[in-house]
Structure 1
Amino acid sequence: MESGTTSAIVVDRTLVAALRERLRSDTGHAVALIETHISWVLLTDRLAYKLKKPVRLSFVDFGTLAARKHFCEEELRLNRRLAPSIYLEVVPVCGTQEAPHLGGDDAIDFAVCMRRFPEEALLRNLLLAGRLRTDHLARFAQRLAAFHRQAQDAPLFSEFGAPEQVLGPMTDALATLQADYGAERLQALRTWAAERGAGLRTAWIGRQREGAVRECHGDLHLANVVLMGDELTAFDCIEFDPALRWIDVMSDAAFLTMDLKAHGRSDLAYRFLDVYLQHSGDYAGVPVLRVYEVYRALVRAMVGCLRARTVGGDPQPVEPDYLACAEALAARNAGPAPRLMITYGLAGAGKSTIAAELLAVAGAIRIRSDVERKRLFGLAPLQRSTGQAVDLYTPEATRRTFERLATCARTALQAGYPVIVDAAFLRRDDRLAFRALAVELRVPFSILRCHATEAQLRQRVAARRASGGDASEADLAVLERQLATHEALDGEERAMTLDVDTEALLDVASLLARWQARRR
C-alpha cells in the first residue's frame, strides 16, 4: 500500500460507518458489514451496497474518486454478463463523510447496488452444509462453457495470456507470500513454477493463437458463486485489472476446480471438469490446468494474508489452507498416475453412468464418443441430429470420431491424468488402436466391460430416448444391430477387463482399486 492511502481509508471508515447507520435508520433493520482488502459491502435486508476502498496496491488503484466511479461502472457492466438479476445500478454517495446518503448530486463516493441473497446460498456454504447438488454443479459447468464460448477473445498479438503474463503473476504471488511464510517453504513452489513455465511455453503461445484467451470472470472461487432459484450464478468478477480478466478460459475453470479440491472435494472438482470439457471441447487445455490450479491457490493464499492485515468488519468464515493446497497440487506425485481405460458394452449397458462415477473418485479425464461425434458436426452434446441433414454414423464420421477420441486421450495422458474413453468399442480394431496408444505412451491399459440383461438394455434405451437428457442417440433399432454384430472380447482382452454388472449395486471404491492395481 502506498503512503497516503492509510489516512484515506481511516476517513472512509467514517463514511462507511455513517452510511451503515443511515441505512439501518432508513430500513429499520440491522445492516451487516463485509470487508475485503479492497472493498466494503453493506448488507440491508433486501439490497447490498459495495464501496471500493481508496487503496493503491500493486494490482489495483482506487485512489481517486474518478477511478472508483469508473470501476463501479465496469463492475456493473462485466457482472451483468453472468448475473444480470443481481447487479442493479451504480449509485452516488452524497452528503458528507459524517452524514452521507444515497443519491443526488456532488458525489463524494460511489457504490454498486446489488440484490441481496442469503449467505447460505453461496456455493461455499452449500458445500460446507452438504447441500450442494451435483446437477446444480453440472448445469453451472455447462453455462460456464457457453459463457467462455461467447466471450470476446483477446486480439491475436496482445500480451494477454502470453507465457510472461501467466508466470509473472505467479512469481509476484510467491514474492508477496514470502513475508508471511518465508523463502525456504516457498522454494519448492518456485522451482516447480520455473520448470512448468519452461515446459509449457509453447502450449501457452498455442493457446493464445487458438483463441483460448478471452474476457473471463477472473475470480471464480466458491464464495463468488451463488444459488439463485435453481441455478448457480457467478458474480463479483474482476473489474479492476484487465490482465486478470483477459485470461485463458482454462484458468477461469481452474479457479473453481482448485477451490473444490482445497475444500476436500476433488470428486466434485472432476465432475465439474468433466461436464465443462464435454460442453467446451477444450481438451487441449488440460496440459495447462494444473499450473493454473496452483496459481489460483497461491492467489487465495495471498488474499488471505492481505485480509488478515487490513480487514476489519464482521467476522468472516475460516478458509482452507490454500498454500498447502498449492503445495499438494505441485507435488511430484500429485494425483493418480496416468493410465488408459476404454469402456465396452452395448447401448443401455450403463457405460457412461459407471464412467462418471469412476472419474470422480479417480481424478480422471473422460472423453465421450457420443459428444465428440456430435462436435464434429457442430452439434452441442444434448442437441439432437434429427432434422439437421447430417448423418452422424457414416464410416467416415466414425473414423473421424475415433481419431478425435485418440487425440484427446493422448493429450490428457501426456499431461499426467488417468483417462477414460467412453464409447461402445464393439469393434476389435478400435480396441486394438487404443491398446496400441497405451503401449506407445507406456501407461497401463484396461477395458471396463459393462453389461446387463437384454430386457434391461431395451428398457434403458427406450427410457433414455424418451427423456432426451443424454448425449446418446442410440434407439432400439441401434441396440438390435449391436446385439447382432458386436465383436466379443477375446481371451487376451478379457485378461485386462474389469467386469461390471450394472444391474447390481456399484462398489466404486472397489472398482477404482481394481483399476489402479493394473500395471500394464
Structure 2
Amino acid sequence: MSAPSASLQDAIFAFLAQPSTHGAVASVERLDTHISTVFLAGDQVVKVKKAVTLPFLDFAPLSAREAACRKEVELNRRTAPDLYLGVEPITRQADGSFALGGGDGEVVDWAIRMRRFDQDGLLNKVAGRGELTRSLMLDLAEGIAAFHAGAEQRTDFGGAAALRATIDGNEASFSRFYGSVFESARVSALMEASRQQVAAHAGLLDQRQARGMVRQCHGDMHLGNICLIDGAPMLFDCIEFNDHFAIIDVFYDVAFLLMDLDANGYRAEASILLNAYLDLTGDYEALAVLPVMLSMRAQIRSHVSAAIAEHVPDPAPLHDAARDYLALAERYLAMVPATLTAVGGLSGSGKSRCARGLAPLFSHGVGAVVLRSDVLRKQLAGVKPTERLPADAYGPGRSEEVYRRLAALAGAVLSIGQPVIADAVFARPAEREAIEAIAQQVGVAFTGLWLSADPAVAAERITSRSRNASDATPEVLQAQLGYDLGVLSWTQLDSSGPKSDTDAAARAALADWIR
C-alpha cells in the first residue's frame, strides 16, 4: 500500500469514526480486520476495504475496492438480502472535507452500507451460551442446502487440481513457522497424507466438478459469519475477493462449518448438521472426500492462527491454537476402522433419538453417518424429510425398496471408510439379516441394538414429536405390536425409562467402537 493511499484512508477513517458523519448518532464503534474497517453507527454499518496488497488480493487500486464492494453486496444478498443495503461513494469536496453517499466531489473511496444486527446473535456467541439447539442446526442445514442448490454452477474452478493447489499453499504458509510454531517433519507428513487422499479421489473430485457440484459458494462459512435474524440463521460475509476461495465444491464449503463446530467443542451439533445436510441433499458420495476436506480446513485455521500471532502482544495462546488445529487436521486423516451399527425397534421406541446421540461418539471425522429408513423413503419419493407421505407409500413393495436402498447405501458408505448407523424398524428377521450381511460383505464389525418401550410410553412419544421424518401414528404402533418379530439376536435395550439410561446402555454395547 502506497503512503498517499494510507494517508488518505487514515483521513477517511477518521471522518467515518465521527458520530456527525452518521446523523449525529451517540457513538461510533470501529472494528478492523486485515482487509476491511467497519464502523458501527446507530442501526447501520459502514464497511470500507483497506487499500492493501496481499498474496491473495490487491485492494490498492480504487477501482478494485469499488468492484469488491459491489461484488460483496451482490453475493451476500443471496443469503442476507435484508442486511446488505448497497454501495456508496465517499467523496472529497472542494474544501477538502469528505461526504458519504453524496456530494459532487471526487470519489476517493467506496463503502458498503449494511443494516446493523445484534452481535449477540452471531452463532459463535449463541454457541457460547449453549443455545445451539437441534432445531437451530436443522434450520441451518436447510438454509445451507437451499443456498447450495441455488448457487451458480462453475466448471472453470474446483476439482482435484484446486485441492492440490490449496495443499501447496498450505505447505508454503506453514513453512514460515517451522521451528517457531510447527515441526517441519510433522507438517510434511500431513501434507503428504493430504496429497495422497486427493490423488486417491481425484476421479470423484473431477466428476463432481463436471456435474456442477463446484459452485459460487460462501467460502468462509464459520460460526462467526452466521447470525440469527428474527430467530433464523443467516449466512453473511461470504468471500468476494478471491474466486479460488469461493468457487468450490459445495461439500468443501460446508466442511468449514463442520470443522469449526468440532474444533470448538460442538461435535454433537456438527453431527446433526452433517446428517441433516445429507438427508436434504442425498450427497453421500462426497463422504469419500470429507476427511481430507475437514483436514484442509483445519490446516488453514492452523497456519492463519500462527500468522495472526505475529501481530499480537502475547502470541502464546494463538500458537497453542495453531498447534491444536494441526492436531485436529491430523486426526481427520487418521485411519479409523469403519463399523456398522443397526438400531431397530417399533415406532416410539426412541431408536432415532438414540442413533442421533450415538453418531458423534464415533471417532471418524465428525462422527457416524446416520441412514434412517424414514428419510430414505422421503428421498425416494422426492420430498423433504418432514413432508408427510400418503399411506400407499408404506405398502409392502415400497417398504422393501426402502430397505434395499438402506442396505445398498450402508454398504457404499462403509466401503469408503465411514462408520454407519442404520436406523429402521427392522421388524422382520429378513431385514435384520440383510443389514448384518452388508457388514460381512464389506468386512466391518457389526452391532445390532433393539430398543423396546412400554406401548403407552411409545404412543406418547409419537404424539409429541416435532420436525420428525417419521409418519408413524399411535395406530401404526398398534399394528406393529402384532408383528411376529422372530428371534431377536441383537442386544435388547429397554427404552421405556429416561433417555439417559437408554443412552448409557447403548454406549456400553458399543464400548469397543466409540469414545
Deviation at 1:17, TM superposition (A): 2.7
From 163, 174, 195, the counterpart of 2:160: 163
Aligned mates of 2:505, 2:7 — CA distance in 1: 59
- Equivalences for 1:20-419 in 2 at 5 Å? 20-21=17-18, 26-95=23-92, 99-104=97-102, 105=104, 106-154=106-154, 158-182=155-179, 183-309=184-310, 321-331=321-331, 334=334, 337-362=337-362, 363-386=367-390, 391-419=392-420
> Do the aligned partners of residues 7 and 368 (structure 1) sit closer, same or farther apart at CA in structure 2, a change above 3 Å counting?
farther
Aligned mates of 1:98, 1:407 — CA distance in 2: 72
Instruction: Find out whether 1:460 has 2:461 as its counterpart.
Output: yes
Deviation at 1:500, TM superposition (A): 4.1
Deviations 1:323-355 (A, max 9, x none): 532432323874864211111111111111111
Aligned mates of 1:265, 1:187 — CA distance in 2: 29
Aligned mates of 1:262, 1:481 — CA distance in 2: 45
Deviation at 1:268, TM superposition (A): 1.6
Deviation at 1:51, TM superposition (A): 0.9
Deviations 1:464-507 (A, max 9, x none): 4xx5x3111122343233222242344xx23xx25242433424
Q: Please, which moves more after superposition, 302-311 or 101-110?
A: 302-311
SS at match of 1:381: coil
Unaligned segments of structure 2, at least 5 residues: none
CA contact under 8 A between 1:346 and 1:479: conserved in structure 2?
A: yes
Deviations 1:218-248 (A, max 9, x none): 1101110111121111100011122322211
Q: Please, which moves more after superposition, 171-180 or 407-416?
A: 407-416
CA contact under 8 A between 1:257 and 1:293: conserved in structure 2?
A: yes
1:488 paired residue number: 486
Aligned mates of 1:78, 1:296 — CA distance in 2: 22
Deviation at 1:304, TM superposition (A): 3.4
CA contact under 8 A between 2:306 and 2:318: conserved in structure 1?
A: no
Deviation at 1:25, TM superposition (A): 7.3
Aligned mates of 2:119, 2:171 — CA distance in 1: 31
Aligned mates of 1:128, 1:476 — CA distance in 2: 39
Q: Please, which moves more after superposition, 184-193 or 225-234?
A: 184-193
Aligned mates of 2:464, 2:504 — CA distance in 1: 28
Aligned mates of 1:124, 1:6 — CA distance in 2: 37
Q: Please, which moves more after superposition, 422-431 or 9-18?
A: 9-18
Deviation at 1:5, TM superposition (A): 4.8
From 444, 448, 469, the counterpart of 1:471: 469
Q: Which runs of 4+ in 1 moved over 6 A?
A: 317-320
Deviation at 1:380, TM superposition (A): 0.8
CA contact under 8 A between 1:220 and 1:252: conserved in structure 2?
A: yes
> Do the aligned partners of residues 52 and 343 (structure 1) sit closer, same or farther apart at CA in structure 2, a change above 3 Å counting?
same
Deviation at 1:108, TM superposition (A): 0.8
CA contact under 8 A between 1:221 and 1:256: conserved in structure 2?
A: yes
Q: Please, which moves more after superposition, 291-300 or 321-330?
A: 321-330
Aligned mates of 2:193, 2:2 — CA distance in 1: 36
Aligned mates of 2:131, 2:461 — CA distance in 1: 29
Deviation at 1:110, TM superposition (A): 0.7
Deviation at 1:306, TM superposition (A): 4.5
**How many aligned positions are there?**
500
Aligned mates of 2:3, 2:278 — CA distance in 1: 45
> Do the aligned partners of residues 150 and 46 (structure 1) sit closer, same or farther apart at CA in structure 2, a change above 3 Å counting?
same
Deviations 1:178-229 (A, max 9, x none): 2124533421221111211211112212222333222211110111011112
Aligned mates of 2:73, 2:22 — CA distance in 1: 27
SS at match of 2:500: coil
RMSD in angstroms over aligned alpha carbons? 2.8
SS at match of 1:149: helix
Deviation at 1:102, TM superposition (A): 0.7
Unaligned segments of structure 1, at least 5 residues: none
Deviations 1:430-467 (A, max 9, x none): 21122111112222111121111122223333444xx5
